[in-house]
Chain A
């Protein structure tokens, strides 16, 4: 079957670093996406990984290990505006015709 797991909630302090993990089990794999979703708003794209390794984009980085079915999103120099849900999504060409399968999201609370 298809399964994507990520922690339900996390709390971190302003200025700190936080790592949000995502593990996945899918019949096929063709890329992993991270989205940010503020409460009541639509998700917005953060990052995409298809090969193993780290992709860095400003304060945000995303890592992928295909052999372990594992990814993480690293947020540095946390700001209050980073309080949001972070969604991990996998493109699975094996079972879902290339559509994205989303995890339930990790709600991050940044405190002063």
Chain B
């Protein structure tokens, strides 16, 4: 999969927006950006994905830069339950249908 780079950790204040960056400078044309999160040792939870356009759903917004070399996941109003490890994953067609997880960003939402 195309490599992604995320900060290892970040803190966020409860009720504020959390902006999680991800660099994927080697991404190419048809590769999708996916975001998952993992709370404690639970199964990874799908958040959102996109190709070129910005996307929004009930959980988050995904902003992808025009050159697609980076993206930002936005949690609009972080709650304590959003404390988790967030993974940015670029899916590569040539890599088959597996997901390759990196280390992610450990997000701590503080009261």
A and B, one complex? Answer: no
A residues near B (Cβ < 8 Å) are: none
B residues near A (Cβ < 8 Å) are: none
